Structures are given as structure tokens and as C-alpha cells.
Amino acid sequence: MNVARTLGERIVALRFADLPDEALHWARIGIADTVGVTLAGASEPCARIARSVAGPSTGPALCFGSNERMKPVDAAFVNGTAAHALDFDDCSNTLGGHPSAPILPALFALADAHSVSGRAFVTAYVAGFEAQARIAHAVNFHHYDKGWHPTATLGVFGACAAASHLLGLDAERTATALSVAASFASGVKANFGTMTKPLHVGHASRNGLVAALLAREGFTAGDDAFGHRQGFFEVYNGAGHYDPAAALRNWADPLDIVAPGIAIKQYPCCGSTHPAIDAMLMLAAEHELTPRNVTRIVSRTHPRRLRHTDRPQPSGALDAKFSVQYCVARALAQGRVVLSDFEGDAWADAAIRALMERVSAEPDPLADQQPDHFGAEIVVETTDGRRLSKRVASAAGRTSANPLPMSRIEAKFLDCAAHALPADACRAALDMLWQIETLDDVAALTAQLALQGERSK
């Protein structure tokens, strides 16, 4: 079985006419959500540093949050880092990570360098999404548990597949590009809670694009860098911990972007904290809980999720995004978790730190009963002796079967985009995104996203 070759054939074969209405619906949402969080993340320190290191670079591709244009590979790197800077971008249960952030910066960079229709752009995005999801089926969740960051180690294949499709590579060159990308796959979870986590995404987006560009020019790679005895599966997962057939099974039946679909985040922090936040907010609303009448909170999540979210003493804003104790305390204290909770020194707020002393995190004893390991339970003890609990099977918006209302998705975009664009430009951009497949040239959209004058400096 040659995984690279077969995937290459299937990636190339996907056409816009093959996409069901549900795929187009979710593609619009995934693209719009990613554009919004990229605009919001463009001013974050990690994105600004990435931009300064990449530049000066002259080219056609827009650097989001600015009016600067770069070479496509540099723009993919900078915009990919910005897309994940706030950890507010969409998620995928299959991937065990963030599916759109590695793919779309590469596609937008290409769309600025070439005349690309909205239909071609959307089809390439779905092809990349499906390719990385199928590879994820072959390696997860051992790959995730071992410590790899799938957003990067698998996202590089999504970016590569999408770029290959948009460039019109044939099946053979697409397979070569995927094999090149196997040597680019990297990113370890030890760097979560630091600038290096969003850097993983910029790195994956750029490298996926580079792999496709190299293959277009005739670059060579191993015949199958996945199945070789020293290839991706064996090296990254190890014998007995992967299933190559799963990478090819049920291709596009259904498309992964349809089911389980994209998880749109409500909160700008690690998705593994979201079910606990939901449970805390529900419990507080139902029983009128406040920091004054709560003596103890226990957050119970799947051990797989607890490994990187049990952070009782976060040391900075990025670290706080991965602290379930901090996120739960914020949810109780203010009835919401928002972008400003992770800006500046908000993480060091004295009242929140004091409340966190009452929050403990432990493995969920019912973890084995969780079908998708994204459930959580919050148990609260009150000053009047009550013991209250709330369990959620999955955070709201986690799958296409439990979507967020469109009004909330739009509100999130407008709030995020307002970090970089004036209100009228935000609204105009969203209107274009909701009909992206009708655009004759996607560069018209990126032109709408560009800043004017000194505001970009």
C-alpha cells in the first residue's frame, strides 16, 4: 500500500461539484473564523516577532493585520503564526488539534500570487482538510498522547495537500509533495503555553506550501515517506501504533469537514478547557454561584486533556490559556471567558489568583465512558454546605452535530477582526466570506483585509 500515491490521486480528484452543501457551509465558516482570529492575532508578540524575522520581504501576499506584502512562503509563515497566536482558531476531534490554521495561510498566500477563483480556493481547502484528517485517522490518538502537536505534525500535510490542489499538481507530484512534507513535520507539546506553539502553525503552513512548490518544479522525494520502514508512521508513532489503511478508508465519505466537522471555539483558550468552562458557567447560572458562596471547585476532565491543562500556577498570559484552574476561576468570577482575560497581566489578577486556590483539577473517573474524550464535570461545594455538580459530554460547538448559532459565529468574527480593521471593513469582509465561492478572484477578499496608511505600522 503506497499511502502517498493513493492520497495524491484522491486529493487531485476532488472537484467543487463533489462538495455537498454541508461541506460548502462548513468551509465558509472555517475560512471566516480563521480570517477573524488571524486578524486578531496579528498584533500579538509572537506574530510581530515572526513578521520581523521574516521581513523585509517583497512580494504579492498580504501579511494580515498590515498593508505589507511578502513572498508567499513568508506570508504563510507569519499569517500561520498569527492564526494560532490567540489559540482561538477552530478545532477538529479527528486531528486532535486545529485543522484550518495550517491550511488557509498557505492558500491565501497562493491566492495573492495567482488568480484564484473562490471555487478553486474552497475546493483546495476541503481537500487539505480531508487529507490531514485521513492521516490523523491512521496515527491518533497514540500520536497525540506521545507528545506530538498534531496541528503541526499533521497540519503540514493539510497545507501541502491544499497547496498542491490549488497549484494544479498532478497525482504524482502531489504524492511527491506529501513525501517532502513528511520530512518537515515537527512540533512537540512540551512547548505549549509559549510562543512556540503558534510558531508550530506558521512553520507547518510555510513548509506545506514549500513542499508543494518544490514538487511543482520537479523536486524528488522517497516513493512513500509514510509507509517506509523509516518513514513517518514508523518513526513518529512506532510499530503497532498506526494503521496505514485508515488513511485511505472512507475517503470523503463523509468529508471530515462535515462530520465530525469543525469545532468553533467560544473561548480564546485551549479547547481542552472548554467543557469545564461550559459546565462552570451552567452551574453558576443555575444556582446563582459567585466567588463569595463557593468554597471549593473540582474540575474533572479526561486524563489526555488534563496532562496539558493542569496548571494551578500559570506564569504568563499564554500559560493561562492552558490552565483549567484559571479558566474555571474566570468563568465563575465574571460569567464569561474573553480575549481580555489573556491580555497583559490579567492572568496575575489578585482576586482571580485567590479564587484559583479553591480550584483543583483531577482525572475524570468516567473518562472511559467518554466517546470523544472531550467531556468534563465540575463539582462545587458551597458555603451553606451544598455539593453541586454539572457534567457536559462535549463543549458547545465542538462538532457539526452541536453547532454554535450563526449569530455567535458572526459576533466572534466581528470582535476579532475589529482588532485590525475598522467596523465597516469588518462587515464588508464578512459579507465577502459568506459568499467566497462566488468570487472570481480571492485577491479581492485579501484586498478588503489590508489596512491603509499608518494604522498598519
Q: Is residue 368 predicted with pLDDT exceeding 80?
A: no
Q: Is residue 454 predicted with pLDDT exceeding 50?
A: no
Q: Is residue 455 predicted with pLDDT exceeding 50?
A: no
Residue 425, number of CB atoms within 10 A of its CB: 18
Based on its alpha-carbon atoms, the radius of gyration of the chain, rounded to whole angstroms, reads 21
- CA dist., res. 186 & res. 102, Å (int): 13
Q: Which of the 8 DSSP states describes residue 233? A: I
- Per-residue pLDDT band for 453 (boundaries 50, 70, 90) equals low
- CA dist., res. 410 & res. 261, Å (int): 18
Residue with cell 502537536: 149
Return the SS3 of 263: strand
Intra-chain end-to-end CA distance of the chain, in Å? 51
- CA dist., res. 436 & res. 122, Å (int): 8
- CA dist., res. 437 & res. 16, Å (int): 9
- CA dist., res. 272 & res. 249, Å (int): 28
Q: What percent of the chain has pLDDT above 70?
A: 98
Could you give all domains of the chain from N- to C-terminal order, each with its CATH number? 3-261 (1.10.4100.10), 271-392 (3.30.1330.120)
- Per-residue pLDDT band for 401 (boundaries 50, 70, 90) equals confident
Q: What percent of the chain has pLDDT above 90?
A: 91
For range 417-444, the mean pLDDT:
97
Any idea which of 35-44, 253-262, 396-405 has the lowest mean pLDDT?
396-405
Read off the pTM: 0.91
Cell numbers that stand for 268 in this block = 480564546
